[in-house]
Amino acid sequence: MLTKDFDPFGLSAEEFFQKFRGESLTFDDLNILQTKTIDFGVDDVDISTNITRNIKIKTPLVASPMEDVSEYEMAIATALQGFPTIIHYNMSIAEQAEQVDKVKRFENGFITDALFFSPDDTIKSVINKKQETGISTFPVLDGKKLVGLITKNDFSSSLHSDLLVRDRMLPVDRLENRMLSLSSLPTDDTKRLQRANEILLDGHQGVLLIVDEKRMFHSLVTRTDIEKNEAHPDSIKDLYKRLVVGAAVKTNIGETKERATELIKAGVDFLCIDSSHGNSTHERDILKYLKENHPEIDVIYGNVASAAGAIRGVEWGADAIRVGKGVGSICSTSRVSLGTRPQMTATYACARAVNEYRIKNNIDYKIPIISDGGYSSFSAIGKGLLFADVIMLGSMLAGTDESPGRTIYDRQGRKLKEYKGMGSIEAMTHGSASRYDEERSGSMVGEGVVGTIKAKGSISQWVPKIKKGIRKCLQSVGSNSINMLHEDVETGKVLIERMSEAGKREAGIHDLLEYKTELPIRY
Ligand code: IMP
């Protein structure tokens, strides 16, 4: 190779995977070489990408549709960080549509679905709600009209339990400096939030009630929420400036017709046919149905791990291909069935096949590859992005404050959260049996486990670290965007070597008695 961007012992991706034909490799098996000169800073790396044919995102990640990962709180938090969540389907159609609706109605810092009371409710019910939710400030509404405010400072549980909310609330005529008309606020998202913050500070208040000109309740703003939501330059929005969200549907055609219709009515941006068996006639029929009946909605197809499976998805009309079989942290599929494949070989095989197919068939748009499962370090994400457009995360997002998993404390008092596979018996009985083709047969065989995971704090603190990690990966090989990374891989500027067992040990932290890290993941 007569180029400056080379090393005599590294191989291009094509050479590497041809050399190891017949071997299944994963992240730690690959060592990635930098040959290009780095001429930009880590913050200059553009990590935007496409998650589907038509949907652009600012961070190359997606939250997996899983019971302990992806409900509306996760969806709001990740969309503010630049990537979508796919709301899982282990709930009724109405509940899933409501979850999508909550994301779509979210206004940065403005709580439009605040818990409220009517003047005729009892103080006892306020006390109960406060205990149940930890929330201590509630608007009082008559229908939708704001008539007062009740907070923990307005009652005592020993004296007022039997009284009504109307007896203890601050009536609306005493709320002047805590009430604001929507029309007096700027329409621009960031300015609106700034203005609300100024008014809160000026009024020395913790809460602001926003109403329309007829005094109908619009939203509630609190100091804590403003601080949480202040700056989100990366948030992903649809044409109407609402956050982007996806949702999972099943391979059961009867149910999916209705589920998809309701999700689309609620404003979902894309759908994901959530099946561990892509490349099946069930999935083909669903994909064709969705593309014929809802052509405006992009659909993710999967899961597959072979070139053949990926190409079928493209032929059947998929707008993105989800790759990953038997590799998730909670997954026991490779113990009970076949067809699995370590994630690097799977991702490369599928990405290469789709690319080749596109070129041969003159397809002039990109069909993104979503590499799903097995990611537990920043460098693994970097390696996945050598070939994939987006990385799907389960365990790296489970355990955050926004994940719906149950919180548990272990014997040492450490905070943990439950994280279970969608193929665990427990999750399958909640609805995901269809994902594993277990809906029709009698005895269930689990393909996943129920486990616990270390608590990671809030998405707003944790995800910026992941994003920084991704930028470091790209910068370290001299590519300042995902497109450039793909080009550099294709043209052999990013080179690959097989990592030896001794090399893996050397690459890990070694020879220390003990060590500390600030990261809540494997290091
Ligand atoms: P993780 O990021 O390594 O935790 O993997 C998450 C991925 O594992 C998901 O996106 C699914 O593709 C897959 N998955 C989820 N639940 C199960 C299961 O019970 N068995 C097998 N795979 C699963």
Q: Which of 66, 333, 428 to mutate to test the pocket of ligand 1 (most atoms within 8 A of CB)?
A: 66
Ligand 1 pocket test: pick from 27, 422, 428 the residue with the most ligand atoms within 8 Å of its Cβ. 422
CA of 508 to the centre of ligand 1 (A): 25
Question: Does pLDDT of 272 surpass 90?
Answer: yes
Taking residues 306-323, what's their average pLDDT?
97
CB of residue 267 inside a 6 A radius of ligand 1:
no
The pLDDT score that the predictor gives to residue 332 is 92
pLDDT band at 231 (very low <50, low <70, confident <90, very high): low
| Ligand 1 centre distance from Cα of residue 370 (Å) | 13
Q: Is 371 in the pocket of ligand 1 (CB under 6 A)?
A: no
- Could you confirm whether 505 is annotated as catalytic? no
Is 435 a residue of the active site? yes
Residue 229: pLDDT over 70: no
Q: Which of 83-97, 216-230, 347-361, 408-422 has the weakest average pLDDT?
A: 216-230
Chain centroid to Cα 239, Å, comes to 20
Q: Higher confidence at residue 343 or residue 444?
A: 343
d(C-alpha 472, C-alpha 478), whole Å = 10
User: Which region among 198-202, 248-252, 440-444 has the lowest average model confidence (pLDDT)?
Assistant: 440-444
Assess contact for 200 and 226: CB atoms under 8 A.
Answer: yes
Rg (CA), the chain: 25
Interval 63-94: pLDDT, tens: 999 999 999 999 999 999 999 999 999 999 99
Q: Is the separation of the CB atoms in 177 and 183 below 8 Å?
A: no
Average pLDDT, the chain: 92
**Which residue lies with its CA nearest to atom 8 of ligand 1?**
328
CA 290 to chain centre: 23
pLDDT digits (tens, 9 = 90+) for 506-522: 999 999 999 888 888 76
Mutation probe of ligand 1 site: the residue of 64, 303, 428 with most atoms within 8 A of C-beta: 64
Stronger pLDDT, 4 or 314, i.e. the higher one: 314
| Confidence at residue 56, expressed as pLDDT on a 0 to 100 scale | 98
Q: Which position has the higher pLDDT, 440 or 7?
A: 7
- Tell me how far apart the alpha carbons of residues 376 and 328 are, in angstroms, rounded to a whole number: 10
When comparing pLDDT for 6 and 94, which is higher? Answer: 94
Distance (Å) of CA 465 to CA 329, 453, 468, 472, 521? 21, 18, 5, 10, 11
Residue 86 near ligand 1, beta carbon < 6 Å: no
Per-residue pLDDT at 9 exceeds 70: yes
pLDDT of 440 reads 67
Give yes or no for residue 278 CB within 6 A of ligand 1: no
Closest ligand 1 atom, CA of 398? 4
Measure 372 CA to ligand 1 centroid, in angstroms.
Answer: 8
Q: Is the CB of 393 under 6 A from ligand 1?
A: yes
Q: How confident is the model at residue 200 (pLDDT cuts 50, 70, 90)?
A: confident
Confidence of residue 370 (pLDDT cuts 50, 70, 90): very high
Please give the distance, rounded to the nearest whole angstrom, from the Cα atom of residue 129 to the centre of ligand 1: 35
Tokens of 481: 């965007």
**Which alpha helices (DSSP H) does 81-215 contain, by range?**
93-105, 123-133, 157-160, 165-168, 189-202
* pLDDT over 80 (residue 188): no
* 447, 421 Cβ separation under 8 angstroms: yes
User: What is the mean predicted confidence (pLDDT) over 159-170?
Assistant: 93
Q: Whose CA is nearest to atom 13 of ligand 1?
A: 328
Which ligand 1 atom sits closest to the C-alpha of 373? 5
More confident residue, 340 or 413: 340
Which stretch of 35-44, 322-331, 351-360, 407-416 has the lowest confidence by average pLDDT? 407-416
The band of 413, judged by pLDDT with boundaries at 50, 70 and 90, is confident
Residue-level pLDDT at 228:
61
Question: For ligand 1, is residue 331 a contact (CB within 6 Å)?
Answer: yes
Residue closest to 432 by CA, chosen among 421, 442, 441, 443: 421
* pLDDT digits 0-9 by tens, 46-60: 999 999 999 999 999
Residue range 413-438: mean pLDDT, rounded = 87
Q: Active-site residue among 168, 178, 352, 435?
A: 435
Q: Give residue 187's pLDDT.
A: 81
Atom of ligand 1 nearest to the CA of 65: 10
**Predicted pLDDT of residue 38:** 96
Across 97-110, average pLDDT: 87
Q: Which of 52, 136, 36, 174 minimizes the C-alpha distance to 485?
A: 36
Question: What is the distance of C-alpha 326 from the center of its chain?
Answer: 20
Q: Which residue in 331, 350, 471, 473 is the catalytic one?
A: 331
pLDDT given for residue 108 in this prediction:
67
In this prediction, what percent of the chain has a pLDDT beyond 70? 96
User: Which residues neighbour 477 within 8 Å (Cβ) at sequence distance 6 or greater?
Assistant: 32, 33, 34, 35, 36, 485, 488, 493, 494
